[in-house]
Amino acid sequence: MLKDTLIALLISFFVTATVCPFFIPILHRLKFGQMVRDDGPQAHLKKTGTPTMGGITFMTGILFASIFLIPRYKEVTVVFLFTISYGTIGFLDDMLKIRKKKSEGLKSAQKFILQLIVSTIFIIYLFRVYGLDYGILVPFTGSFDTGVVLKLGIIWIPFALFVILGTDNGVNFTDGLDGLCSSVTVIVAIFFMLIGLKSGFSVTPFTGAVIGSLMGFLIFNAYPAKVFMGDTGSLALGGFVASYALMCKIPVFIAVIGFIYMIEVISVIIQVGYFKSTKGKRFFKMAPIHHHFELCGWSETRTVTVFSIITIILGVLVYLFM
């Protein structure tokens, strides 16, 4: 399994790293530029016009790696299809943003309905495989053999939906600085790979496809970014994180290893709630929280580095106590 995971990593890396130099100029010619929020950090205004929808490049890498993996690991098909489906929703969102030349594409209700449809299909699949016997491993309690495994019964169905939607929004909010979402998610995927190899999950090789593709993409997405992943990429990555964790019965691990995703969402919830309750006051300088640190004087590279280090530390702790 380790060998196939590494082969998938190499395939996706080389495909993505090869596709990007050809695809970025095409995005320029099509004028698929990023629409930057005018109420955001002023330093970000210079990014207006930087090609977006770069998620297509690493999804291409994932596709080629999956073609290699699927004949060997059937469960990879499920996570791959879910990842691509969420990426397609992001693609529609990006296309509308470009067409309307605004920072908002799909309306919230439209995006939610599409996510709900895809998520429901996935949860039905999980239910057919596991039924109400679905168990969730609690972090820091050991492995599946020695640790605490919670069985939620019928509650796990709405719980799974909450995990998917919450995770996808978290990953989406994290995509706000050059290389931030890519860096954090590649680290999350690495620890998912280590946990999967340790536990023998048959879907583990798919993490290699994600790791390799994001490494290839980071060559062009790291500061100063030549291309942004857009919702095409961030929604796809959120779909991967959520579906892989649910398939492996480790969804609670997302709250620890993916702490950055969670804090990004929480910061937005706090900001909106505080703004409404105080009639115009702000709890953070700006949300999501990575913008707060920017406005406090942190550079983009410092923020990305600190958030990545936090993810590494939490990943190590989870792995050591599993």
- List the binding residues for Mg(2+): 172, 231
- Round to whole Å and give the CA distance between 186 and 58: 12
User: How buried is 261 (Cβ within 10 angstroms: 0-12 exposed, 13-18 middle, 19+ buried)?
Assistant: buried
User: How buried is 145 (Cβ within 10 angstroms: 0-12 exposed, 13-18 middle, 19+ buried)?
Assistant: exposed
Other Cβ atoms within 10 Å of 269 Cβ, number = 10
- CA dihedral over 210, 264, 180, 21, signed as positive or negative: positive
Binding residues: 172, 231
Other Cβ atoms within 10 Å of 74 Cβ, number = 11
What Cα–Cα distance (Å) separates residue 150 from each residue in 119, 147, 163, 251?
22, 10, 15, 11
Nearest to 221 by CA among 230, 208, 231: 230
Supply 227's token pair.
């291309």
Strand pairing report for 135-137 and 149-151: antiparallel
Bridge partners of 33? Answer: 51
- Round to whole Å and give the CA distance between 232 and 221: 14
Q: Which residues fall within 8 angstroms of residue 215, CB to CB, at 6 or more apart?
A: 9, 13, 16, 186
241 touches 62 (CB < 8 A): no
